[in-house]
Structure 1
Amino acid sequence: MPRNLNTRPVGTGEPDTRAAVRRIAMRDDVVEATSVIGHPPGQVWQIVGTPELYPRFVPAISWCEVTEAAVRGRGPRCLVRLAPDENTLVEGTVHAVVYRPGEHVVWCGLPDERNWVSLELRPAARGGTELTLRMMLPSLSDEHAGLLTRSAVKSLLRQLCMRIGQQLSGVPAEPPEQDRATTLRVANILVRAGVLTAGRPDRMIRQLNSITQWGATVAGGYLAATARGADDLAVHDERGSRTFGEIDQRSNQLANALASLGVEAGQPVAVMCRNHAAMIEAFVGCSKLGTDLVLLNTGLSPSAVGEVLAEHRPAAVLADDEFASTIAGVRGDFPRVSTWDDADEGYRTLDELIREAPRTRPKPSARPGRIVVLTSGTTGTPKGARRPTPKGLSTSASILARIPLHARDKIAVAAPLFHSWGLAAMQVGMAVRAELSLIRRFDAEETLRTIAEHRCDALFAVPIMLQRILDLPERVRSRYDLSSLRIVASSGSAMPGAFVTAFMDTFGDILYNFYGSTEVSWASIADPADLRCAPTTAGRCPPGTRVSVLDDEGRRVPPGDEGQIFVGNDMLFDGYTNGSTVSRAEDLMATGDVGYQDASGRLFVTGRADEMIVSGGENVFPRPVEEALVALPGVSEAAVVGVPDDEFGQRLAAYLVLDRGARIHAEDVRHYIHQRLARFAVPREVYFVPELPRNATGKIVKRLLGDELWPLPQS
């Protein structure tokens, strides 16, 4: 499918987006309505004859997936989902019993062909098109009968024609109505989550004083939580637990110990840790001291660690013993401290520093310390991105508006704390005074054991972790009582639609998909209702966030078109530590992704802007091909990349990981994709590999496919 659907009317004079409904009639069980679009039938057919585009133009259609492509003499077959309102979802299979390109298509339900929808195109005056919609859906239950009302059909046709007219005329889409983060809206969210509740006056005063004195920093958040309940459990790891009061005391001592080593406010301190309590103490202690905390990815090579530390020049490095040799190889006169001692010989430990330091709480520094998160580094050496200090509780309210965490929830954190998503779990958990169960090394079954043992309400993970959990045999999953789990929040990379549906069918409608980046923080969140309606959606914007899909000139694209995704909110990053930044348009920042919004305002990400290839003059993104591949029975994982081609410029190559025992031929894969996607989206090469190269957060590192570090397999 082309990146843009945009065409311009031919021989019709000025662009015409008029779509006046001329007549509407009902006879027996058939509803009929007619409208006129100011564009010729050939252009209107580009949309009417392409069913996978329907959700972009009809709000009531949330999902349409072509399962069999049209061939001569036979129309396509599709899986379709209808969501006419927030409480209704109807799913079924349809096929085109009439499919005359440029003229007429009739969709019938399967197996009950008494349900049908007809779209007929006829030439109209001034080069326009008369579009007639007829519907007969007799098998719908009473609760869905609203689809058959005169006003509903009239509204559906009006919206369809208006959006088609705007698309063909190049008129920018109207942005979805923004959910504004007003003071009242934020307060309601925080009250609902239990962040703002009545309590003992002395505790409430101490809580407010902490926020006033320290701001919405990590130090301020943990001090506020301590004020509300110093004896409440804050953190579990495999060696024990900490209360909020213990974290407060130990982080005071850590801040004083670092100061005694010569570390000053405003200087960077690097941390290379897995998930455990000492890392939380490092967050809080460095925040109290006012230092900038540089989070090192545990999957970085020694040379990359050396480059990052050479750029940031830390005043101290805190690292687990397993990374001691890496840190030892870095030049620099800075203290090295062990945060997880499990070696016979190592650096001085964090506990030793804390035991010798005074318990006095430092005074807040003039400039709050910042957190520096490294970009994923999938295309080279990672860059440091300076995270802004949250503007207050409204930052947490944005996430809580879409992910319904409550005060004192128990959260299992499998996503690495050095990653933006693990960091978000800690920060939002801090706001609700959550009890965090930190998973140091991810193991699918051990994660279920942790959830069952601690009766966790939520799990924060990256998609590959959830895939590993779903891959566990049912007999293993059934050993653990997961009845307490009501939220599984995922971020970090795309989740295939087939996986989303399978996960919720297995564990219930508890899955939330968070879309954002290190640079923009968050853009949208899909809740379980969104994911049932459209499994690949990135969801809708939380309060105070705005998303626009823009073209190369920074203008909003017409309805249905793809473009670059730009985001605006209060947590856009402050730039990279090397002085570079990312593209902006007005008050919005680019995510680096390409996508579109459907007719209901849901966001969809179709790929990275830098992954687009041009094959034979057609723009192709790998992600829709990957989505189709993982839906093929027997395929566990898929990655698609562009490779040079002498004839077409570039072509697609697919790398597949098969389910255990599955056997598939490359030609079968190519035939399967050809049935579902355009010819130029069919991979020319198909390779079967035992695994895909991934970084420490589970994201596929495509640049390694086929090079000397990841040998090219045989197809």
Structure 2
Amino acid sequence: MNPLVVATTMAKRGMLAPGPPQRTARQLLALRRWGFGLAGELRQAASRSPKAVAVIDEQRGAVTYAELLARSERAATVLADLGAAPGTRVGLLARNHVGAVEILFGASAIGVDLVLLNTGLSAEQLALVAAQQELVTLVHDDEFGPVVAALPDALTRIDETAFTTRLEALPEPAPLSPPARAGRTIILTSGTTGTPKGAARKTPGGFGPLVTMIDRIPLRARGRILISAPIFHTWGFAALQLATALRAIVILQRRFDPAQVRATIGDERVDAVFAVPVMLQRMLELPDDGRSADRSRLRVVATSGSAYPSGFTTRFMDAYGEVLYNLYGSTEASWISIATPAHLRRHADTAGTPPLGTIVRLVGEDGRDVPDGERGRIFCGNGLVFEGYTAGAANKEFLDGLVATGDVGHREGGLLFVDGRDDDMIISGGENVFPSEVESALIDHPAIREVAVVGVPDADFGQRLAAFVVLHEGHAVTADEVREHVRSRRARHVVPRDVVVLDELPRNATGKVLYRELRERA
């Protein structure tokens, strides 16, 4: 990336503001010694702003960067005592709290590969993932004791309370030195279509990835960032990386509660929120609290992880202002494109445009790029494309160094649109159909709160569409009314044959709809 672009962007976001010369020198030395991974980012922040608040935890209160560094080094000692060593894999099953953050930084500092486990895993799924990832140790929040109870005795397990007790009993450790082998963070894929897979994250080699994000999403140094997206999720983990690089104040809450988050934005004078789309949907469903003026400091609401219902982004910005930034990405590809408020006002359903240093191609069946307006498979390349799955899965397809996202989309007026998963397209009566076309039509129905559409086998047509709908409280709708609503807005061949009303859609811990469960039910 052009050094001038890097310097200009960092200056614009307040990262090059003058500071005490000795601290600035220590900050740069920390990055030189430790690199741009978690361990290095924490040390540069603690060197420059040791007494500044790093984390506000709902149970522990405020923790400074110096305190966070000291406790992370103790966490590293505890992990080593439990058998973790450079290159071994440790699992972390935890919600968003400062203790989990200490373990993240501690593991990075001693070269351990840390596997971030989805808090929604069943006991059976957890056992499978633990075996596939060859975990030697598992650290978990106390509440997950019943889930981990069935794991093999050979796997060392320690709960949050026991880990904290051991950490606080340690004397002040000697400062750590960079490990010979840098640790990796392994994030599980969502598992919405099968068993979650582990994707190893690259360690940034410089300021490029940070600049890519803050050039498009206007985060500032020493801001106040509420991370509601789970830290075990790619987006929550990215938020922690960005916040540490910016020496920001991170606000953490173990569980997402829409009313609590809305109140926290005002009470904690939040500048930025990182969330997943379903969280904003729940916030917008709340009755007006009359506190819109308290949100005057809010500049960024950054989301990723799944698509929004058609038109939702406009409704959210009408309520919260021009603050919504939506990143289209994946565990494997990191970021692909980012939609700004201006993009979303222009077209509520766009995925935006690729940020700095990112290449996106839309490729047809013949392997050539498709023209604007035509659908093609989406391939992406950037500085943090994953290095491959860690165990038990075939790797993603690559084309000229670009990774397949698994999605199909098109370009229109310079903007990218995602039409659906390339394996979601069904052929019904000889016609190609994407379920997302039907979902976007049905979400406009006044009685429908949420909708998911899947393809199921059909003896006559090969496949047919089944629509699963969740209704607003006090509303009712018949299957014929649902079909007529689609028929009046879309081609005849996309009208769903089956209509099922549910109390709620099945979702994983990050809010993604579990389409495989719907297909099984259909």
With normalisation by structure 2, the TM-score equals: 0.97
Out of 323, 339, 344, which is 2:144 matched to?
A: 323
Name the residue aligned to 2:130. 309
Alignment correspondent of 2:461:
648
Distance (whole Å) between structure 1 residues aligned to residue 301 and residue 83 of structure 2: 42
In structure 1, which of residues 338, 342, 349 is the aligned counterpart of residue 159 of structure 2?
338
Letter in 1 for 2:114: L
Alignment equivalent of 1:592, drawn from 368, 386, 406:
406
How far apart, in 2, do the equivalents of 1:670 and 1:196 lie?
Answer: 57
Q: Which amino acid aligns with 1:613?
A: I
Alignment of 1:517-532 (within 5 A): 517-532=330-345
C-alpha change, 1:610 and 1:332, in structure 2 (3 Å) is: farther
Q: Shift in Å at residue 566 of structure 1? A: 0.4
The one of 455, 465, 490 aligned to 1:677:
490
Tell me which residue corresponds to 2:119: 298
Q: Which amino acid aligns with 1:445?
A: A
| Residues 656-714 of structure 1: per-residue CA shift (max 9 Å, x gap) | 1111112222222212211221111111122211110000000000111264xx6x6xx
Residue of 168, 175, 195 corresponding to 1:381: 195
**CA distances 1:174-210 after superposition (whole Å, capped 9, x unpaired):** xxxxxxx312112111111112222111111111011
Measure how far apart 1:480 and its partner are: 7.8
CA–CA distance in structure 2, aligned partners of residues 402 and 687 of structure 1:
40
2:92 aligned counterpart, secondary structure: strand
* C-alpha distance after superposition, 1:292-344 (max 9, x if no partner): 010000000101100111122223211001112222311142432222x4xxx
* Aligned equivalents of 1:479, 1:568: Cα separation in 2: 40
Among 42, 48, 51, the residue aligned to 1:222: 42
Residue 631 of structure 1 aligns to which amino acid in structure 2? D
Of 196, 206, 211, the residue aligned with 2:26 is 206
Residue matched to 2:440: 627
Among candidates 3, 11, 19, match of residue 191 of structure 1: 11
Q: How does 1:531-546 map to 2 (within 5 A)?
A: 531-546=344-359
1:413 maps to 227
Q: Is the CA contact 1:412–1:458 (under 8 Å) kept in the aligned structure 2?
A: yes
User: Where does residue 3 of structure 1 map in the other structure?
Assistant: none
Partner of 1:52: none
Alignment pair present for 1:289 and 2:289? no
Aligned AA (1:419): H
CA drift of 1:508 comes to: 1.1
Q: Trace 1:689-704 onto structure 2 (pairs within 5 A).
A: 689-704=502-517
Cα distance between partner residues in 2 of 1:265 and 1:354: 23
Match of 2:472 in 1: 659
What SS does the corresponding residue of 1:415 show, helix, strand or coil?
Answer: coil
Work out whether residues 550 and 556 of structure 1, in 8 Å CA contact, stay in contact via their aligned partners in 2. yes
- Between the aligned partners of 1:656 and 1:357, the Cα distance in structure 2 is 57
1:268 maps onto 2:89 in alignment: yes
Report what 1:365 is aligned to: 179
> How many angstroms does 1:378 deviate by?
0.8
Gaps spanning 5+ residues in structure 2: where?
A: none
Provide the rounded CA distance (Å) in 2 between the counterparts of 1:528 and 1:415.
Answer: 20
Moved more, 414-423 or 646-655: 646-655
Structural RMSD (CA): 1.5
Residues 413, 422 of structure 1: 8 Å contact kept: yes
Contact 1:448-1:480 at 8 Å conserved across structures? no
Query: Using the alignment, how far apart are the partners of 1:575 and 1:332 within structure 2?
Result: 30
1:562 partner letter = R
Higher Cα Rg, which structure: 1
Q: Distance in 2 between matches of 1:305 and 1:232?
A: 38
**AA at the equivalent of 1:279:** A
- Structure 1 window deviating more from structure 2 (232-241 vs 352-361): it is 352-361
Aligned pairs (5 A) from 1:61-76: none
* 1:315 match: secondary structure: strand
Give the aligned residue type for 1:599: G
Instruction: Please name the residue that 1:603 is paired with.
Output: 416
Runs of 4+ in 1 over 6 A off after TM superposition: none
Q: 1:596 corresponds to which letter in structure 2?
A: H
The answer to whether the 8 Å contact 1:256/1:362 transfers is no
Is the 1:549–1:564 Cα contact (8 Å) retained in structure 2? yes
Could you report, residue by residue, the CA deviation over 1:21-77 in whole angstroms, capped at 9, with x for unpaired residues?
A: xxxxxxxxxxxxxxxxxxxxxxxxxxxxxxxxxxxxxxxxxxxxxxxxxxxxxxxxx
CA distance, structure 2, for counterparts of residue 568 and residue 332 of structure 1:
42
Q: Is the 8 A contact 1:256 1:357 kept in 2?
A: no
Distance 1:663 1:306 in 2: 42
Structural mapping, 1:44-443, within 5 Å: 181-239=1-59, 240-339=61-160, 341=161, 348-443=162-257
How far did residue 352 of structure 1 move? 2.4
Q: Aligned-pair distance for 1:358?
A: 4.1
Shift of 1:381: 1.3
Number of aligned positions between the proteins: 520
Following TM superposition, by how much is the alpha carbon of 1:558 offset from its aligned partner in structure 2, in angstroms? Answer: 2.3
**Is contact 1:337–1:350 with CA below 8 Å preserved after alignment?**
no
Q: Is the 8 A contact 2:360 2:380 kept in 1?
A: yes
1:670 aligned partner, one-letter code = R
Tell me the distance in 2 between the aligned counterparts of 1:689 and 1:254: 45
What secondary structure, in the 3-state scheme, does the structure 1 residue paired with 2:343 have?
Answer: helix
Of the three residues 403, 421, 425, the one matched with 1:612 is: 425
Query: Do 1:513 and 1:538's aligned partners in 2 also have CA atoms closer than 8 Å?
Result: yes
How far is 1:472 from its partner? Answer: 0.2
- TM (normalized to structure 1)? 0.71
Q: Partners of 2:101 and 2:177 in 1: how far apart?
A: 20
Alpha-carbon distance in structure 1 between the residues aligned to 2:437 and 2:398: 26
Change (3 A) 1:334 1:241: farther
Return the alpha-carbon distance in structure 2 between the equivalents of residues 577 and 554 of structure 1.
28
Other structure's SS at 1:436 match: strand
In structure 1, the partner of 2:378 is 565
Q: Paired residue for 1:122?
A: none
Structure 2 distance, partners of 1:203, 1:592, is 46
Structure 2 SS opposite 1:676: coil
Alpha-carbon distance in structure 1 between the residues aligned to 2:237 and 2:213: 13
Partner Cα distance (1:635, 1:193) in 2 = 41
Alpha-carbon distance in structure 2 between the residues aligned to 1:351 and 1:220: 26
Q: Following the alignment from structure 1 to structure 2, what is the Cα–Cα distance between the partners of residues 261 and 272?
A: 16
Separation in structure 1 between the aligned mates of residue 184 and residue 116 of structure 2, nearest angstrom: 11
Cα deviation, residue 477, structure 1: 5.8
2:310 to 472, 475, 497: 497
Work out whether residues 454 and 519 of structure 2, in 8 Å CA contact, stay in contact via their aligned partners in 1: no
1:101 aligned partner:
none
Measured against aligned partners, the alpha-carbon deviations of 1:515-558 in whole angstroms (never above 9, x if no partner) come to 00000000010000000001111111110001000123432112
Q: Residues 335-369 of structure 1: CA distance to partner in whole angstroms, max 9, x if unpaired?
A: 32222x4xxxxxx2324234225421221112210
Deviations 1:630-662 (A, max 9, x none): 112221100000111122111111111111112
Q: Does 1:462 align with 2:283?
A: no
Say which SS state the counterpart of residue 430 (structure 1) adopts.
Answer: helix
Is contact 1:254-1:357 (8 Å) kept?
no
User: Which region of structure 1 is more displaced relative to structure 2, 430-439 or 668-677?
Assistant: 668-677
Letter in 1 for 2:446: P
Q: 1:437 to 1:662 in 2, by over 3 A?
A: same
Q: Distance in 1 between the 2:478 and 2:372 partners?
A: 39
Please say if residues 237 and 438 of structure 1, whose CA atoms lie closer than 8 Å, have aligned partners that are also in contact.
yes
